[in-house]
C-alpha cells in the first residue's frame, strides 16, 4: 500500500505505527466524550435558553458545528484502527470535509462569541439594536453559506483525486501536492486573523474591567465570570488551533505526519467548547422556570428597596 497509485493520489506507508494507535485512541476518546457532551449541551441550550439572545444563537451553532465533527469521527476511528477504507471515495470526502468545516466554523463562532461579549460589556446600551437574535441568525447563516461555498471546489478536487486511487488511504492520502501550499496558507492566515481578534477582544475587556470600580462581591464574581469566558476562548485557540495554524504555514510533504498529529489535537476542541457555554450564559445548567423565579425575586427585591 505504499506505492504511488497515480500522479494525483499518493498513498503513504500504512504499516504498523504508534501514530496510528495514538490517533485511534485520541479520536475514540473525543468521540466518546464530545458526542454526548455536545448533544446534551445543545439540548440544554435549546430547552432552557432557546434562541432568545444573540449569545445563545451563536452557541447553538457552535454546538452544531462540534456535532458535525463528532459524527465524522467513527469513520476516522475505524480507519486508524484497521488501516483499511472500504467505504469509497465519496464517503471519505464527506468525512474529511465535515472535519474541515468544524475547524473553520468553530474558530469563527468562538470569535463571534468573544466579540459579542466584548460589545455587550463596552457598549451595553448602544449595542442593543445590533445585538439581536435576528442579527446573530444572519451572521451564522453567512458563516455556514460562506464556509460551505469555499469547501465546494476543495470537495471536488479531493473527490476527483481519491476516486482514482486503487486502494483509498483516505485520511492519510496526499492529494494534489502541486496545490498544497495554497489552501493551507489561506487557512493559516484566516485562523491567525481570528486569533488576533480574540486577543484584541480580551485586551479591551481587561482594560474596561480594570477601569470600572468594584462595588461588592457580586461585582467581583461577575468580573471573574467575564474573564473566564475570554480565557477559555483564548485557550481553545492557543492550545488547539495555534499549533495547527503554525504548521500549516510551513506545510510540505515531509512534515505531513506532524500536521496530521496536530489535526488530531485540534479535534479535542469540541470537548472543551461546552465550557464556553457554561461561563458565557448565566445559570446555564438551571431550569428555565427556576431562572424565571430568580429573576422575578430579584426584580421584587429591587422594587422593595425603592420604598
Q: In this predicted model, what pLDDT tens digit does every residue of 81-117 receive, in sequence order?
A: 988 888 888 898 888 888 888 888 988 999 998 898 8
Is 10 within the bounds of a domain?
Answer: no
pLDDT at residue 306, rounded to an integer: 41
Is 297 within the bounds of a domain?
Answer: no
Q: How many domains does the chain have?
A: 1
Q: What CATH number did the domain enclosing 208 receive? A: 1.20.1070.10
User: Looking at the predicted structure, is the pLDDT value of residue 36 above 80?
Assistant: yes
Q: In this predicted model, what pLDDT tens digit does every residue of 65-85 receive, in sequence order?
A: 999 889 889 999 999 998 888
Is 209 within the bounds of a domain?
Answer: yes
Among 65-74, 128-137, 158-167, 297-306, which is the least confidently predicted range?
A: 297-306
pTM over 0.85: no
Is 264 within the bounds of a domain?
Answer: yes
Residue ranges making up the domain that contains 194:
20-283
Is 278 within the bounds of a domain?
Answer: yes
Q: What is the 3-state secondary structure (H, E, C) of the chain?
A: CCCECCCCEECCCCCCCHHHHHHHHHHHHHHHHHHHHHHHHHHHHHHHHCCCCHHHHHHHHHHHHHHHHHHHHHHHHHHHHHCCCCCHHHHHHHHHHHHHHHHHHHHHHHHHHHHHHHHHHHCCCCCCCCCCHHHHHHHHHHHHHHHHHHHHHHHHHHHHHHCCCCCCCHHHCEECHHHCCHHHHHHHHHHHHHHHHHHHHHHHHHHHHHHCCCCCHHHHHHHHHHHHHHHHHHHHHHHHHHHHHHHHHCCCHHHHHHHHHHHHHHCCHHHHHHHHHHHHCCCCCCCHHHHHHHHHHHHHHHHHHCC
Amino acid at each position: 500500500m505504499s506505492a504511488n497509485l497515480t500522479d494525483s493520489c499518493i498513498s503513504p506507508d500504512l504499516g504498523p505505527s504508534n501514530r496510528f494507535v495514538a490517533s485511534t485512541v485520541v479520536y475514540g476518546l473525543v468521540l466518546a466524550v464530545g458526542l454526548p457532551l455536545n448533544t446534551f449541551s445543545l439540548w440544554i441550550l435549546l430547552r432552557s435558553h432557546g434562541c432568545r439572545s444573540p449569545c445563545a444563537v451563536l452557541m447553538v451553532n457552535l454546538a452544531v458545528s462540534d456535532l458535525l465533527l463528532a459524527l465524522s469521527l467513527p469513520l476516522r476511528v475505524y480507519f486508524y484502527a484497521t488501516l483499511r477504507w472500504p467505504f469509497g471515495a465519496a464517503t471519505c470526502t464527506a468525512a474529511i470535509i465535515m472535519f474541515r468545516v468544524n475547524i473553520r466554523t468553530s474558530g469563527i463562532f468562538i470569535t463571534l462569541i468573544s466579540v459579542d461579549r466584548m460589545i455587550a460589556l463596552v457598549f451595553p446600551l448602544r449595542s442593543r439594536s445590533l445585538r439581536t437574535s435576528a442579527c446573530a441568525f444572519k451572521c451564522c447563516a453567512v458563516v455556514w453559506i460562506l464556509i460551505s461555498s469555499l469547501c465546494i471546489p476543495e470537495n471536488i478536487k479531493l473527490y476527483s483525486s481519491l476516486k482514482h486511487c486503487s486502494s483509498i488511504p483516505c485520511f492519510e492520502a496526499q492529494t494534489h501536492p502541486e496545490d498544497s501550499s495554497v489552501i493551507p496558507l489561506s487557512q493559516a492566515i484566516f485562523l491567525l486573523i481570528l486569533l488576533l481578534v480574540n486577543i484584541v477582544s480580551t485586551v479591551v475587556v481587561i482594560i474596561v474591567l480594570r477601569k470600572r470600580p468594584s462595588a461588592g462581591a457580586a461585582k467581583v464574581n461577575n468580573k471573574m465570570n467575564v474573564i473566564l469566558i475570554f480565557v477559555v476562548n483564548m485557550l481553545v485557540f492557543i492550545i488547539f488551533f495555534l499549533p495547527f495554524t503554525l504548521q500549516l504555514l510551513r506545510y510540505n510533504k515531509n512534515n505531513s505526519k506532524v500536521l496530521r498529529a496536530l489535526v488530531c489535537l485540534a479535534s479535542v476542541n469540541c470537548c472543551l467548547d461546552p465550557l464556553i457555554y457554561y461561563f458565557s450564559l448565566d445559570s446555564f445548567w438551571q431550569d428555565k422556570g427556576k431562572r424565571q423565579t430568580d429573576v422575578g425575586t430579584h426584580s421584587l427585591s429591587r422594587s422593595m428597596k425603592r420604598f
